[in-house]
Amino acid sequence: MANGFSKKMAELLEKMDDKVLAAKINAAIDMLKNENYDELAKKLRKVDKNEIMEKLNEIDDEKLKDLKLDKSELKQKLNSIDLDAVQKMLGENGPEIISKIKDIIK
């Protein structure tokens, strides 16, 4: 019985993580669309860049569907954003992270 409960809790927490991730992705895109680079830069300085790469590596077409994120919509939103500026905000991991984002939306 405890195993069933643990499994349900794990599934629930995973779904919550997915919702949080989707909300963070959308919030970051909105900040960039509104050219709120300073606010995004502050947030990015606080985030472990390796953790960003780990999360990005988890994303595939199925994960995008689970997050209710449309790939073509993301691509359209990101095309209007200065990804070079974001890359600079990310520091030394910037090129790798931006490359992974581009791979996800192609």
Looking at residue 95, what is its pLDDT?
A: 94
Q: What is the pTM of this model?
A: 0.70
Residue 4: band (very low, low, confident or very high) from pLDDT cuts 50, 70, 90: low
- Stretch 78-103: mean pLDDT: 87
Specify the range with the lowest mean pLDDT, choosing from 12-16, 19-23, 48-52: 12-16
> Is the pLDDT score of 15 beyond 80?
no
Domain span at residue 73? 2-105
Looking at residue 13, what is its pLDDT?
A: 59
Which residue has 């992974």 as its token pair? 100
| Domain total of the chain | 1
